[in-house]
């Protein structure tokens, strides 16, 4: 059987690469492989059907086929072996043939490799993946005057190489004092060629924070791959410092952590005012003395003062806490607005004195108007009879005569202000009114709305009752 020079055919058929992008890997059959470093390449790939001097496959010629097998995974810069075979339709051995292989990286740039088959068409291709990600290997055998060409592809998932990232420092610290942690970034035992930026976080666990992650300033490696993290904790607890490197095209991302137990003599007071808190009624104020780490042990004493709407400070009786340093007291104020309690604990042999404020809002007491009628269906000409009562938020009497406005709203939505009504001392009232004559066939509705504007102690309120005008023959 006659074959043209495979080497000459492949070189003539492959498209030109950009300057400086010539393949740097030589691959030969039977495991004899010489590997040099990879080179950057263009995005184009050769057309499999193009043969000598641009000839294309002749569909009347016998076909050929290429099979490829590759490892399912690999690591950047570690050699991999791809095996394959070129076969001819008529079953004859293809002889020594040159197969072109393009290594295509994730950005679709490629590098051309070549391998030579054994006489039976088998070949072995060894390559060093230059970076991580899915690398595709496209094999081409070009058409001859005797056989059609063929192609095959296989993809290898290439993992990034493991970087070595360390972080060390003290195991104990104190809030308010600077901590110094040191670490290194190594790439296969060498420092990175260029300075690398590392992200730094601090995660805190204590009585106030449950794993709160805080971003600290980035650090940069020096010529030895070393770096330093400096931080001054402001509270006690478990502090876990983590440095993270984003990785690059060859090396996978990496992180390292170091835990420091930070002690603190600080104490804290937190609390709340009951909501709602009403003017003239007792409301509850609660709180507790706590530490960053560990538990406060009582009983102990906290000292109190109060300001309303930023006014003059008024001293209140001191309060003794329970065994867990929790406290509570009732208070009553005569003005609405913001009430601020200043709470001070004097400290003890292990923890500092602390002062904090507890703030709430005092509002007017709610009021309500109940309005009812013994009969809410009327004939034209009948009076609306209304009984009602004004009460506080506990449905009790406000204990004063109150002036109510009255409004009648007709079926068409228009309203009329009616004479006002004054309640009795217990808040009760009665009202009579004759709605205007209307067409009763549509069962029109009239609404009577009673409104109280409130006073210095109670909020405004309103209530309504509804009547329906019915025809005389209505069985209502």
DSSP result, 196-230: -EEEEEEEEESSS-EEEEEEEEEEE--TTSEEEEE
Give the pLDDT score at 56. Answer: 63
Which residue(s) pair with 242 in the sheet?
201, 257
User: What is the token pair recorded at 470?
Assistant: 């019915």
Give the chain's length. Answer: 476
The alpha carbons of the chain give a radius of gyration, in whole angstroms, of: 44
What is the side-by-side strand order in the sheet with 367-372?
367-372, 384-392, 428-433
Please name each of the domains of the chain with its CATH number.
Answer: 6-159 (2.60.40.2470), 164-263 (2.60.40.730), 267-363 (2.60.40.730), 367-469 (2.60.40.10)
Asked if 124 and 83 count as a contact pair (C-beta separation under 8 A), the reply is yes
Q: What region does 333 belong to: left with phi over 0, alpha with psi -120 to 50, or beta?
A: beta
Q: Where are any strands of DSSP class E within 373-470?
A: 377-378, 384-392, 403-409, 415-422, 428-433, 445-452, 461-469
By the 10 Å C-beta count (0-12 exposed, 13-18 middle, 19+ buried), 451 is classed as: middle
Query: In which element (H, E) is residue 13 found?
Result: helix 6-13
The count of C-alpha atoms lying within 13 angstroms of the C-alpha of 377, restricted to the half-sphere facing its C-beta, is 10
For residue 108, how many other CB atoms are within 10 A of its CB? 12
User: What is the token pair recorded at 401?
Assistant: 């005569």
pLDDT in tens, the chain (476 residues): 333 333 333 333 333 332 223 222 333 322 222 222 333 333 334 433 344 434 467 899 999 999 999 999 999 999 999 999 999 999 999 999 999 999 999 999 999 999 999 999 999 999 999 999 999 999 999 999 999 999 999 999 999 999 999 999 999 999 999 999 999 999 999 999 999 999 999 999 999 999 999 999 999 999 999 999 999 999 999 999 999 999 999 999 999 999 999 999 999 999 999 999 999 999 999 999 999 999 999 999 999 999 999 999 999 999 999 999 999 999 999 999 999 999 999 999 999 999 999 999 999 999 999 999 999 999 999 999 999 999 999 999 999 999 999 999 999 999 999 999 999 999 999 999 999 999 999 999 999 999 999 999 999 999 999 999 999 988 87
Alpha helix stretches (DSSP H) within 196-337: none
The number of angstroms, rounded, from the C-alpha of 130 to the middle of its chain's C-alpha atoms is 35
CA 371 – CA 51 distance, rounded (Å): 100
User: What is the token pair recorded at 89?
Assistant: 């339709």
How distant, in Å, are the alpha carbons of 278, 301, 364, 365 from that of 457?
9, 34, 5, 6
Asked if 454 and 368 count as a contact pair (C-beta separation under 8 A), the reply is no
CA 75 – CA 132 distance, rounded (Å): 7
Instruction: Please state whether the peptide bond connecting residue 299 to the residue before it is cis, i.e. omega within 30 degrees of 0.
Output: yes
- Closest-CA residue to 447 (of 474, 408, 417): 408
Give the pLDDT score at 476. Answer: 73
For residue 54, how many other CB atoms are within 10 A of its CB? 9
The number of angstroms, rounded, from the C-alpha of 348 to the middle of its chain's C-alpha atoms is 41
User: What is the token pair recorded at 99?
Assistant: 């197969």
Give the pLDDT score at 475. Answer: 82
The number of angstroms, rounded, from the C-alpha of 456 to the middle of its chain's C-alpha atoms is 47
For residue 48, how many other CB atoms are within 10 A of its CB? 21
Asked if 383 and 372 count as a contact pair (C-beta separation under 8 A), the reply is no
3-state secondary structure of 12: helix
Query: In which element (H, E) is residue 84 found?
Result: strand 80-88
Asked if 86 and 139 count as a contact pair (C-beta separation under 8 A), the reply is no
Express the helix, strand and coil content of the chain in percent, nearest 5 each: 5, 50, 45
- Closest-CA residue to 413 (of 449, 384, 440): 449
């Amino acid at each position: 059987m006659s074959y043209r020079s495979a080497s000459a055919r492949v070189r003539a058929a492959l498209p030109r690469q950009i300057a400086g992008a010539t393949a740097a890997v030589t691959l030969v059959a039977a495991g004899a492989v010489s590997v040099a470093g990879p080179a950057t390449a263009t995005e184009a790939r050769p057309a499999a059907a193009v043969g000598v001097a641009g000839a294309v496959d002749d569909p009347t010629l016998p076909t050929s086929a290429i099979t490829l097998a590759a490892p399912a995974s690999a690591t950047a810069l570690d050699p991999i072996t791809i095996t394959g075979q070129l076969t001819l339709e008529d079953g004859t051995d293809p002889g020594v043939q040159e197969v072109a292989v393009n290594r295509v990286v994730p950005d679709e740039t490629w590098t051309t490799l070549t391998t030579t088959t054994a006489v039976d068409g088998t070949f072995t291709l060894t390559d060093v993946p230059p970076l991580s990600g899915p690398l595709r290997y496209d094999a081409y055998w070009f058409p001859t005057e005797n056989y059609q060409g063929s192609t095959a592809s296989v993809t290898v998932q290439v993992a990034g190489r493991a970087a070595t990232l360390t972080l060390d420092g003290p195991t104990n610290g104190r809030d308010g004092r600077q901590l110094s942690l040191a670490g290194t970034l190594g790439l296969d035992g060498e420092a990175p060629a260029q300075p690398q930026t590392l992200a730094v976080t601090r995660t805190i666990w204590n009585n106030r924070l449950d794993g709160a992650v805080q971003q600290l300033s980035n650090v940069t490696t020096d010529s030895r791959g070393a770096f330093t993290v400096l931080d001054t904790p402001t509270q006690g607890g478990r502090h876990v410092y983590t440095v993270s490197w984003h990785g690059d095209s060859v090396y996978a991302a990496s992180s390292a952590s170091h835990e420091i137990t930070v002690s603190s003599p600080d104490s804290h007071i937190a609390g709340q005012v009951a909501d709602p808190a009403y003017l003239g009624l007792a409301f509850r104020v609660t709180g507790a003395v706590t530490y960053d780490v560990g538990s406060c042990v009582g009983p102990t004493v906290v000292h109190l003062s109060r300001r309303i709407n930023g006014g003059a400070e008024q001293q209140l009786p001191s309060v003794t806490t329970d065994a867990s340093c929790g406290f509570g007291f009732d208070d009553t104020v005569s003005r609405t607005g913001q009430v601020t309690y200043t709470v001070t604990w004097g400290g003890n042999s292990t923890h500092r004195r602390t002062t904090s404020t507890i703030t709430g809002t005092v509002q007017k007491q709610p009021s309500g108007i109940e309005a009812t009628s013994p009969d809410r269906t009327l004939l034209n000409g009948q009076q609306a009879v209304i009984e009602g009562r004004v009460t506080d938020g506990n449905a009790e009497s406000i204990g004063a005569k109150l002036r109510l406005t009255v409004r009648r709203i007709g079926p068409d939505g228009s309203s009329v202000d009616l004479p006002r009504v004054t309640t009795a001392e217990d808040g009760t009232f009665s009202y009579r009114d004759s709605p205007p004559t209307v067409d009763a066939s549509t069962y029109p509705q009239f609404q009577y709305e009673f409104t109280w504007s409130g006073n210095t102690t109670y909020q405004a309120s309103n209530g309504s009752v509804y009547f329906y005008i019915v025809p005389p023959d209505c069985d209502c």
